[in-house]
Structure 1
Amino acid sequence: MLTNLTIALDMMGGDYGPRSSIPAAILAVKKYPNLTLLLCGNEDVLRQALQKESHLDHPRLIVKHCEQVVTNNCEPAHALRNKRNSSMRIALELVKSGQAQACVSSGNTGALLSMAHYVLKMLPGIKRPALITSMPTEKKQPVYLLDLGANVLCDPETLFQFAIMGSIVAGEALDKAQPKVSLLNIGAEDIKGHDGIKQAAKLMCECEHLNYQGYCEGSDIFSGKSDVIVCEGFVGNIALKTCEGIAKLIMLKFTNALKKHFFYKVLAFLLRPVIKKLYKKVNPDQYNGASLVGLRGIVVKSHGNASNKAFLAAIDEAVREVNRRIPEKIQTAFERMAKTEEASVSQD
């Protein structure tokens, strides 16, 4: 664990802006005594919000004034060209300059991807960044799913690189030397899937640095059979949001059923500790915070509609990423693979 942590927050992004990001920032500095947060946004708005929460002069909550905001409907190209003094852009620039070790934003995903790619650049040898997050499984340990929407379509080489990066992230998080990696497909049989998926599977199977397990289906995401599941961003984003919707639906149906009869109400009271424990395990808020891996810096994307607790979970993820030094370890892995490939070519 690093002695001092500094993280830049895009305070104005998302559906709620400072209404969720300010309470989350306050909770974060209480939780981490060694954490300093650089609050990027409109100075007047942020100071008023901090004053309302009696944290205006907190020494580890530092306001960085930004004149612009990247709205949810702003086109990525427009944001990149015209929002250079936005809270999102300034937070990324603070990471680039070394003033912050990570950036957290719940703002426009497309704009964040474009800006992060432009400002921080890619690590050597990596084609595209990927969004990765953990999801609950039947077992104690979670599964890591990527890509979650950074790249709608991916060629085989990109999916292969995602597998390497996902394996590193999961290995660090789960303390596993060889995490199990699977490729999401419409079936587990080798004949299933389009040519791109089959070519990606071949690359993964031939890589000695991957513990590749083969294809997995959507129903296997929560089984715990895999530590990492790789897919295109279009598929991953739909899978993630479908899972979150199902979790909310189940809990809603369950709580509504308990309210219908007096006996169920008594039963709910008696089972309250169990229900709370169950909800905590499936509540999407605690899994909020997808890391944008493959960049020369740490960027965590929070849901746009994140509550203060959900935004805190994204800050938690940024803290973990900094302590694990994920970008450095991804770069080391790709350099090692490049040297192995060069040695193999020279022997031939």
Structure 2
Amino acid sequence: MGATRARIAIDAMGGDHAPAEIITGALRAREELDVEILLVGDPQQIKAHLPQQTNFGQLEIVPAEGTIEMHEEPLSGIKRKPKASINVAMDLVKQKRADAVVSAGHSGAAMAAGLLRLGRLKGIDRPAIGAVLPTIASKPVIILDVGANVDCRPKFLEQFAIMGSVYSQYVLGVNDPKVGLLNIGEEACKGNDLALRTYELLEKNPQVSFIGNAEGRDVLSGRFDVIVCDGFTGNVLLKFAEAVGEVMLQILREELPQGLHGQIGTAILKPNLKRIKQRVDHAEHGGGLLLGVAGICIISHGSSQAPSVFNAIRLAKEAIDHQVLEHISSQNGSKKQSATSSSEANSDE
């Protein structure tokens, strides 16, 4: 792509608050992140929600027809609606008219469209959604998979560990990311068959710094930089963590003193409260990166409003700037697969 400025395709019709909130977040990103925005969807609806006298510099509307509804089965939906906004957005990346896709629509449809339109990276069997969460150590942890694959094989989790390590190193700036396997105990003998077999693979894989099992209480401890699990467990974990953040913010609001003293105290604490919100509010993190497809794709929450959309675009830009796809491809080439992994793949087929 040419060059300097990232071009982000936005599924303007996807999400509970589309297109108004999607457009508001995208316009903010255009100004503050200096990216080019391609709003994909119904041109009339998009134009109706653009501010009057909108400057179309670094902004383009790309027509699409319809969207994949949340009740629709993902694969049949994207095949039945080839001109749906998520399909058109993915095609823009495939055609190199855009560097990334951001969608708050049907997450299953986004994954299916990414796989069909963009394909998988070499050496990756299943893409994973990676979510970045705060920890008490003031550094983030990336958890994957948080929803793309309900059922997993050990080799999938091994690949998740490699992709998560690449993201942690090159985007989050962690030198030698420490990898953990989500489990019910620290001991190597704990867990179900998936956990036991995955533990063996990770322990023998020289491409990751595997330091053992991570219990639920370890997830936000800062001890681990990357935590891998199947998508069923990861999705439950992610939504619980988001709920805890919302509860914390609500408790803070309720416990702050009322009246004049409360107003003075809140004014004094305002910078601290803002930092707390940035650390625990899931809207500040934007969504998850679909790792493993041959293109940058950010899957945002269906309830995303403008701030979350802005942060999703920020995530996409960071992934582009740090060449995440190139680094994953170089780490996951078939020649670099361990003999153990190859043996595991053959036994699973």
TM (norm. structure 1) is 0.93
2:284 is matched with which residue? 286
1:127 is matched with which residue? 125
SS state of the match for residue 49, structure 2?
helix
CA shift digits 1:190-245 (9 cap, x unpaired): 22100111110110000111100100111111110011000110111111110110
2:90 is matched with which residue? 92
Partner amino acid for 1:28?
Answer: A
Unaligned runs of 5+ residues in structure 1 are none
Task: Give runs of aligned pairs for residues 173-184 of structure 1, distance below 5 A.
Answer: 173-184=171-182
Task: Give the whole-Å Cα distance in 2 for the aligned partners of 1:73 and 1:87.
Answer: 16
1:75 is matched with which residue? 73
Q: Does the Cα contact within 8 Å between 1:2 and 1:323 map onto a contact in 2?
A: no
1:42 is matched with which residue? 42
Partner amino acid for 2:131?
Answer: T
| Alpha-carbon spacing, 1:255–1:177, altered in 2? closer, same or farther (3 Å) | closer
| Alpha-carbon spacing, 1:216–1:317, altered in 2? closer, same or farther (3 Å) | same
Unaligned runs of 5+ residues in structure 2 are 344-349
Task: Give the whole-Å Cα distance in 2 for the aligned partners of 1:113 and 1:244.
Answer: 22
Task: Give the whole-Å Cα distance in 2 for the aligned partners of 1:175 and 1:274.
Answer: 24
Q: Does the Cα contact within 8 Å between 2:68 and 2:78 map onto a contact in 1?
A: no
Identity percentage of aligned residues: 33
Q: Tell me the CA shift for residue 175 of structure 1.
A: 2.6
Task: Give the whole-Å Cα distance in 1 for the aligned partners of 2:306 and 2:211.
Answer: 38
1:204 aligns with 2:202: yes
CA RMSD of aligned residues (A): 2.0
The farther-off stretch of 4-13 and 266-275 is: 266-275
| Alpha-carbon spacing, 1:162–1:79, altered in 2? closer, same or farther (3 Å) | same
Partner amino acid for 2:32?
Answer: K
| Alpha-carbon spacing, 1:231–1:259, altered in 2? closer, same or farther (3 Å) | same
CA shift digits 1:125-175 (9 cap, x unpaired): 211000002110112221111001000111111111110111111111233
- 1:270 is aligned, of 268, 271, 284, to 268
TM (norm. structure 2) is 0.92
Q: Does the Cα contact within 8 Å between 1:14 and 1:72 map onto a contact in 2?
A: no
| Alpha-carbon spacing, 1:214–1:111, altered in 2? closer, same or farther (3 Å) | same
Q: Tell me the CA shift for residue 15 of structure 1.
A: 0.3
1:150 aligns with 2:157: no
Task: Give the whole-Å Cα distance in 2 for the aligned partners of 1:115 and 1:68.
Answer: 14
SS state of the match for residue 298, structure 2?
strand
2:13 is matched with which residue? 12
Partner amino acid for 2:49?
Answer: A
Q: What is the count of residue pairs matched by the alignment? A: 341
Task: Give the whole-Å Cα distance in 2 for the aligned partners of 1:231 and 1:58.
Answer: 43
1:109 aligns with 2:78: no
